[in-house]
């Protein structure tokens, strides 16, 4: 289990790195929640995912680049699962970012620590996400990428369950809500005269 950053409520339940990244913005009908509002929040997300962030901190431009990648992965994924052709510029952006060298980690003495070989930049962390998207979208499991079934949620997830029948982006956020609504409906039906 990965630990979430102390100051954030990032969750890592989307089933893949790139979809966890997409889930850092939630577009609900009634409100839009942006979890990556500042470069510091992006640093926090990188840390929560075990990705190195530049020691000097991230810039506004890094944040814009990250959001552009996030939008491209989101739009491309939704097009593909809808059976529609993805936008050429989105594919190009994912590929351009994925081409950047990714960070190199080495095991430390004793085998329980790891260190990045050289000072990585933001592009290196984004490259890891872009490559995850390339592997996921071009892989054999497109049918397991779905949008949450909950009313008005539609957060994307990759279904790793053995049955392949996962319906919710996260049990905590939508599964329990749906189960409670189901229960109330059943009780209401039963108590009707």
Residues near Zn ion, by CB under 5 A: 148, 150, 153, 155, 169, 174
Cβ 5 to Zn ion shortest distance, Å:
21
Instruction: Return phi, psi of residue 158, to 5°.
Output: -110, 115
Cβ 176 to Zn ion shortest distance, Å:
11
- Please say which residue, 74 or 150, places its beta carbon nearer to Zn ion: 150
Cβ 97 to Zn ion shortest distance, Å:
27
- Please say which residue, 70 or 166, places its beta carbon nearer to Zn ion: 166
- Please say which residue, 77 or 150, places its beta carbon nearer to Zn ion: 150
Nearest Cα neighbor of 144 from 192, 93, 77 is 77
- Please say which residue, 17 or 169, places its beta carbon nearer to Zn ion: 169
Q: What is the DSSP letter of 103?
A: P
DSSP three-state, residue 158: strand
Cβ 126 to Zn ion shortest distance, Å:
25
């Amino acid at each position: 289990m990965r630990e979430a950053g102390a100051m954030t409520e990032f969750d890592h339940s989307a089933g893949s790195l790139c979809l966890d990244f997409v889930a850092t913005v939630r577009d609900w009908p009634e409100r839009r929640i942006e979890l990556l509002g500042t470069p510091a929040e992006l640093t926090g997300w990188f840390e929560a995912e075990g990705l190195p962030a530049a020691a000097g901190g991230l810039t506004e431009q890094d944040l814009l680049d990250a959001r552009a990648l996030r939008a491209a992965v989101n739009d491309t994924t939704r097009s593909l699962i809808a059976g529609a052709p993805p936008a050429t510029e989105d594919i190009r952006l994912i590929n351009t970012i994925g081409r950047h060298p990714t960070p190199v980690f080495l095991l430390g003495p004793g085998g329980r620590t790891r260190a990045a070989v050289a000072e990585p930049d933001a592009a290196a962390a984004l490259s890891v996400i872009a490559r995850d998207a390339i592997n996921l979208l071009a892989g054999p499991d497109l049918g397991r990428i779905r949008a949450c079934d909950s009313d008005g949620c539609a957060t994307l997830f990759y279904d790793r369950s053995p049955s392949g029948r996962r319906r919710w982006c996260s049990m905590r956020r939508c599964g329990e809500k749906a189960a409670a609504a189901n229960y109330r409906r059943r009780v209401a039906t039963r108590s009707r005269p």
